[in-house]
Structure 1
């Protein structure tokens, strides 16, 4: 039976670089750390591959949490209204709710991978039994430290960072237009699936992932978007002197939901 002052220690993994680096950082510091992953069922294949790599490299168990209802069921209940930066209902029902259900009423420390060189708040639960902790901020770790943790551990970066700047569902509305083009190139089947969720018609309200245009309209401008991106980024991605897309787009002003992005 637990003592009244005993806490569980939980690290929620997004499949992204920061939470992965935090797993490396805390691995030998908190032996009883619980690792969880909220699986929406709509993650990139590279995300699942990276999580499996984490299991093998760090020798950890990762508890996979799934929502009671999938995205398509929720989309129907929402009347076809797609989530957006202004209405992020997907994060609540697919990520936060399964996490808080898993925690229950236990008193826990929830570890969050926000770096000391970032200016943003983490996921703050409305439940007072979930206490956030920010080890990177407390210890002054910045991006270069996160990169070193991942590379020196042998874990490295998730493969999707070669063409995408963040973790999350393949249809994440925070993707920039060049990332939608890259999704079309890397996973045409997932791009097509994302298109199927959109509603575009003359006599009804348009529900689209990308602002101002549908994905079918966006991909018609594919070459134009690629050329525009090249003008802004005069370096070769992933070349000897190049950068990952996460380095180039990761600092954009419109940040993704913290639960998905870390």
Structure 2
């Protein structure tokens, strides 16, 4: 018996002179109406379907479904509230991808994407939307994580994904994504506040010096005082972030 795994094509084996294959439905031609009906039923429910064939004739199917993280819908709802487009890149069929996206509230789905084409999908998103972040956990996600402007790997993901990512979401807690985004926005706000305030003090002191209304004591006091204010303003990052007023629903099964 010989078995070979072809990336994006499934598993192919030979036994007693017969050829066997396990793979996604799009790879098979000889499918009975009954099998196709069952496939449509399962994919519409968000399940992934794989076929098992003997000499290219489909003789069985397997339907399975990954349980989405219960916090995924809450995180996606927050991102949409921030006017951030959410998209899912999946190798599953369009029907399956659409069902999962509908359950989670995802805006758009790229379905039937082979592992080697995920990076190309990221490139197209960057062309369409600009800055793009990618969240992934598998070996196949690594090229896309590298291509994205910011790559987030799940803490319990593969070593390859963690190594190439820009940041790691520890404990697989997607709500930390919301925390990081809020913290980044607050950091950006404080940095600009400090820059504008510091430049304003410099311009004020320079102007007073030009018109001869500045003395050393006042200059030192203003300069050191502004430095202290900038420092205190920066320490606001240590304060707890405000919790969202809106309550997000978690997924239930």
Q: TM-score, normalised by structure 2?
A: 0.28
Which of the pair is proportionally richer in helix?
2
Which of the pair is proportionally richer in strand?
2
Q: Which protein is bigger by CA-based radius of gyration?
A: 2
Q: TM-score, normalised by structure 1?
A: 0.28
